[in-house]
Amino acid sequence: MDQRALLIKMMEASGILKSTSIKEALLTIDRKNFVLPKYMDYAYIDRPLPIGKGQTISQPSTVVFMLELLEVKKDHRVLDAGSGSGWTTALLSHLVGPEGEVVAVELLEAIKNFGEGNFNNSPYQNAVFIHGNAYKGYPQKAPFDRILVSAGAAQVPPALVSQLAPGGKLVIPLQDPEGNLLLLEKLGEDDYRKSYYPGFVFVPFVDTEE
């Protein structure tokens, strides 16, 4: 069994990986193609890896945990806020299918270019990469069925909440003492349900206007 298969088996055995669709995405989208060349030998180790400019490609088990919370469906429109290496963008592109769309927004132009270049080597064409402030979302494409944030925020950006479609879900790491992941579900107009999952660490989610 190769290293990628072992990693997937480990995540299944631990109960983190549950969905067939996410497993298929992991088998289709090779994390090795989204890391810097000097870290390729570590691509299937369950840990974050540097991608430059102080940013990282997230730990595989953390990404899977977040995707399981999001419950992305075919034909969804998804905002990938802080798209980094492009790996989560490609996984989301697989999950939404050809009828869906992923909008990947990245603050750092060099990282946006790195992620977009990696994504362009994947089999998907249903994502658009934007150099911009993901803290503000991307209103031009709103509302979104799902929003995935891959950086830790001091608070949930109001712009992201406002761009969430009815019935939509937002997953965002919080910079709080517990290291919570927040799952925010929009049940109706001004009606939200929040669920917290502690024990995570992310690079900061930056709002350039602060």
pLDDT tens-digit series, residues 23-42 = 999 999 999 999 999 999 99
Residue 204 within a domain: no
Residue that the structure tokens 């979302």 belong to: 137
pLDDT tens-digit series, residues 124-150 = 999 999 999 999 999 999 999 999 999
Residue that the structure tokens 């992620």 belong to: 115
Domain containing residue 57: 3-197
Residue 208 within a domain: no
Residue 205 within a domain: no
Distance CA 107, CA 131 (A): 6
**8 Å CB contact between 134 and 149:** yes
pLDDT tens-digit series, residues 98-111 = 999 999 999 999 99
The CATH number that applies at residue 149 is: 3.40.50.150
**Total tally of structural domains belonging to the chain:** 1
Does the structure show a pLDDT above 70 at 210? no
Residue 202 within a domain: no
Supply the residues annotated as catalytic: 58
Distance CA 68, CA 97 (A): 17
